Amino acid sequence: MNAQPTRVAVLAHDLFPDLAKTATGVIRYADYEVAAVLDRSNAGSRVADHISIPTERDAPIVESMADAFDRDPEIDALVIGIAPIGGGFDESWRSDVERALEAGIDVISGLHYFLDDDEEFAALAREHGATIYDVREPHPDLTVSEGKSGEVDAHVVLTVGTDCSVGKMTVSLELQRAARERGLDAAFIPTGQTGIMIAGWGNPIDRVISDFTAGAVEEMILEHGDKDVLFVEGQGSIVHPAYSAVTCGILHGAMPDAMVLCHVAGRDAIHGYESTPVPDPETYVDLYEDLAAPVHPGEVVAGAVNTSSLDSDAAAREALDEFGSEIDGPATDPIRFDADEVLDAVLGDEP
Amino acid sequence: MNAQPTRVAVLAHDLFPDLAKTATGVIRYADYEVAAVLDRSNAGSRVADHISIPTERDAPIVESMADAFDRDPEIDALVIGIAPIGGGFDESWRSDVERALEAGIDVISGLHYFLDDDEEFAALAREHGATIYDVREPHPDLTVSEGKSGEVDAHVVLTVGTDCSVGKMTVSLELQRAARERGLDAAFIPTGQTGIMIAGWGNPIDRVISDFTAGAVEEMILEHGDKDVLFVEGQGSIVHPAYSAVTCGILHGAMPDAMVLCHVAGRDAIHGYESTPVPDPETYVDLYEDLAAPVHPGEVVAGAVNTSSLDSDAAAREALDEFGSEIDGPATDPIRFDADEVLDAVLGDEP
């Protein structure tokens, strides 16, 4: 998809903030502004009452799309910021989506249930000139990789993981933010549904035809190849029993110059595959580097560890020092501390 | 798909034998019998006039489906044995497909153009109780791997490659044949369109959603897990810039106990990606073994080299000796010589 919203409303009824990963991601990291959050359970409060965010990213929580328009008629998209188990559409959200489409604004959804397949929504969108973006649906012109990502001017940085859900998206976004603060033209290359909704564009790599995995990444790298630095959101893990194909395709499709190994403190088996132990960090470094080398050499130069399970900053520092010494590079928790030292490492001699 | 033909006609108009890879594969290796080949350019001759095959696999070449039925009314399926560039359907084949469907027999096709989407063919199939199998179309119930392939009783052997088109399917089929000759209950696990048409069943791994790559392989391993030995057809190469995702998903989805590294003599760059050199054989052995180990340990125990470009058997023997010493195991060209020594190596202490 390639939506270009500037001010959005984010639907997160009844699940904000803890079960609204997409909503909180969009509020924290999107390039566009969040004008309002729709959550009937918390209407009247503000986002900052629930999560820790910079003041300029705070927004009111309202009851409905109609209320959001009353406060801000300039809203130009509705983002579906929650996904119930199974990815279905909750009928109680229908009036909000209708109200958005009737106003002619775009609707961006990462649900498994494609809103564009809903006859009523599709008709309303046609009638009012709105576009429905179902971000889980790959665009139809994807094809095989030509092996050209290594030729772009941009310095390419890929987050790789010891497992799924270890913070690869967050680390990529924090590095992008830190790079922009240094004045670099830095892009985030999204590969999963939440990343795509935050960026407003991208290919859902886990949903493309397996033959096109690398090609769908390459398409995005080439599109942004003239920037200073690209932070590519990795997926899964190269030792994941189910998802390693996606990880491998992203590695060879992105052809990174540098990699950041992401981990969650205390994780010692692949989540959901408890008979598969998480190897030691050095094994991951060797696997990612050795597999990258024949296609495009790239090194794991830094680490990122989610230390939220550790109570004290001292314990977190200790975990980071240990991880860093195992991978022979700096390691950080960019949420708890900052991303500067890791950014230095991934940029190396770059701009 | 899960077709169960017993005697088939194979359509190969104008392209037999050199450009009819599926037709010749089916003739050489299918479990079912080939009763006739349809090729208007060669009608009146026999298969053995064109390719070297065992006598019991010879078949007449005829003008049309009608002629094939005249010779053998017991034919129970029509296999489309050729694929023009682009994978389209040639309208000059329409009368043969119509004739087959009108007789109520199944039609098995690996074309990109799905015959089941052709309204006329779909209507004829419904009317006459025939089934159209478009083998490139993954079945709708595929899902993510549960990581259970390692638990099957069968000894699992995977062919892996230095590149695409190095003989992985052929080597798997030759090993299956050699194992059956020793009285083993050996299955071929097909992962690509030609393999699927030969076997009459299988999942087209390169066409499944990338998240389901390993799962689609696991489904087949579990289905045949009670056999003595499974020969899994590998795809692509772990260093292929475009297709490594498929290769990696098959490796972790199959969880092989033993691997056979396949190569073509003289190939020194990835086909179509000439700036990517083919690493030395030892590098491949390390990559495949190191990547397999954290999920399910398996070793590269033997090699197979297509030596058809080498004129003399002596030169072929020399190439095989060199390849074997580099991977530290026996190597053969199963078409030029035989598969016995490699079969010994992959079976190890098995049944």
SS (H, E, C) chain A: CECCCCEEEEECCCCCCCCCHHHHHHHHHCCCEEEEEECCCCCCCEHHHCCCCCHHHCCEEECCHHHHHHHCCCCCEEEECCCCCCCCCCHHHHHHHHHHHHCCCEEEECCCCCHHHCHHHHHHHHHHCCCEEECCCCCCCCCCCCCCHHHCCCEEEEEEECCCCCCHHHHHHHHHHHHHHCCCCEEEECCCHHHHHHHCECCCHHHCEHHHHHHHHHHHHHHCCCCCEEEECCCCCCCCCCCHHHHHHHHHHHCCCEEEEEEECCCCEECCEEEEECCCHHHHHHHHHHHHCCCCCCEEEEEEEECCCCCCHHHHHHHHHHHHHHHCCCEECCCCCCCHHHHHHHHCCCC
The verdict on A180 and A117 lying in the same domain is no
- Whether B265 maps to a domain, the answer reads yes
- Whether B247 maps to a domain, the answer reads yes
- Name chain A contacts of B219, Cβ cutoff 8 Å: none
Are the C-beta atoms of A13 and A81 separated by less than 8 Å? no
- Whether A266 maps to a domain, the answer reads yes
In this predicted structure, what is the pLDDT of residue B351? 58
- Whether A237 maps to a domain, the answer reads yes
Whole-angstrom distance, CA of residue A156 vs CA of residue A255: 7
B205, closest residue in chain A (CA to CA): A210
In this predicted structure, what is the pLDDT of residue A79? 97
In this predicted structure, what is the pLDDT of residue A83? 84
**Is some CB atom of chain B closer than 8 A to the CB atom of A246?**
yes
Summarised one tens digit per residue, pLDDT across range B209-247 is 999 999 999 999 999 999 999 999 999 999 999 999 999
Domain count, chain A: 2
The verdict on B221 and B334 lying in the same domain is yes
Q: Which residue has the higher pLDDT, B85 or B29?
A: B29
Please classify residue B49 by burial: count the beta carbons closer than 10 Å to its beta carbon, then call 0-12 exposed, 13-18 middle and 19+ buried.
exposed
Whole-angstrom distance, CA of residue A213 vs CA of residue A205: 6
In this predicted structure, what is the pLDDT of residue B1? 60
- The CATH number of the domain holding residue B216 is 3.40.50.300
Q: B151: how many CB neighbours lie within 10 A of its CB? A: 13
The verdict on B208 and B294 lying in the same domain is yes
The verdict on A343 and A205 lying in the same domain is yes
The verdict on B70 and B168 lying in the same domain is no
The verdict on B158 and B282 lying in the same domain is yes
Please name the amino acid found at residue A268. D
Boundary (domain end) residue, out of B72, B107, B134: B134
The verdict on A220 and A114 lying in the same domain is no
Q: What are phi and psi of B290, to 5 degrees?
A: -65, -35
> Checking DSSP bridges between strand A258-264 and strand A229-232, what pairing results, if any?
unpaired
- Name chain B contacts of A207, Cβ cutoff 8 Å: 209-211
The verdict on A74 and A109 lying in the same domain is yes
Mean pLDDT of B290-299: 98
Q: Which two tokens stand for residue A57?
A: 């990213």
Looking at residue B258, the DSSP 8-state letter turns out to be E
Tell me the pTM. 0.95
In this predicted structure, what is the pLDDT of residue B173? 97
Q: What is the overall mean pLDDT for chain B?
A: 96
* Domain assignment of residue A38, given as a range: 7-134
Q: A272: how many CB neighbours lie within 10 A of its CB? A: 15
Question: Which residue from B211, B243, B290 is facing A246, i.e. has the nearest CB?
Answer: B211
**Is some CB atom of chain A closer than 8 A to the CB atom of B222?**
no
Q: A314: how many CB neighbours lie within 10 A of its CB? A: 9
- Whether A141 maps to a domain, the answer reads no
Summarised one tens digit per residue, pLDDT across range B170-201 is 999 999 999 999 999 999 999 999 999 999 89
Residues 6+ apart with CB under 8 A from B215: A242, B142, B143, B144, B145, B146, B253
The verdict on B172 and B280 lying in the same domain is yes
- Name chain B contacts of A212, Cβ cutoff 8 Å: 210
Boundary (domain end) residue, out of B79, B103, B134: B134
- Whether A264 maps to a domain, the answer reads yes
| B249 to A252: CB separation less than 8 angstroms, yes or no | no
- Give the count of Cβ contacts less than 8 A between chain A and B: 142
* Nearest-CA distance B318 → chain A (Å): 27
- Whether B1 maps to a domain, the answer reads no
- The CATH number of the domain holding residue A31 is 3.40.50.720
Q: Which two tokens stand for residue B330?
A: 């026996």
| A238 to B249: CB separation less than 8 angstroms, yes or no | no
Nearest CA among A89, A90, A81 for reference residue A114: A89
Instruction: Please report, in tens digits, the pLDDT of each residue of chain A (351 residues total).
Output: 667 899 999 999 999 999 998 999 999 999 899 999 999 999 999 999 999 999 999 999 999 999 999 999 999 999 999 988 777 899 999 999 999 999 999 999 999 899 999 999 999 999 999 999 999 999 999 999 999 999 999 999 999 999 999 999 999 999 999 999 999 999 999 999 999 999 989 999 999 999 999 999 999 999 999 999 999 999 999 999 999 999 999 999 999 999 999 999 999 999 999 999 999 999 999 999 999 999 999 999 999 999 999 999 999 999 999 999 999 999 999 999 999 999 999 999 875
For residues B235-267, one letter each, b for 16 or more C-beta atoms within 10 angstroms of the residue's C-beta and e for the rest, the string is bbbbbbbbbbbbbbbbbbbbbbbbbbbbbbbeb
Q: What are phi and psi of A134, to 5 degrees?
A: -95, 100
The verdict on B201 and B82 lying in the same domain is no
The verdict on B215 and B180 lying in the same domain is yes
The verdict on B123 and B167 lying in the same domain is no
Question: Which residue from A215, A275, A291 is facing B242, i.e. has the nearest CB?
Answer: A215
| A277 to B294: CB separation less than 8 angstroms, yes or no | yes
Boundary (domain end) residue, out of B108, B134, B160: B134
- Whether A142 maps to a domain, the answer reads no
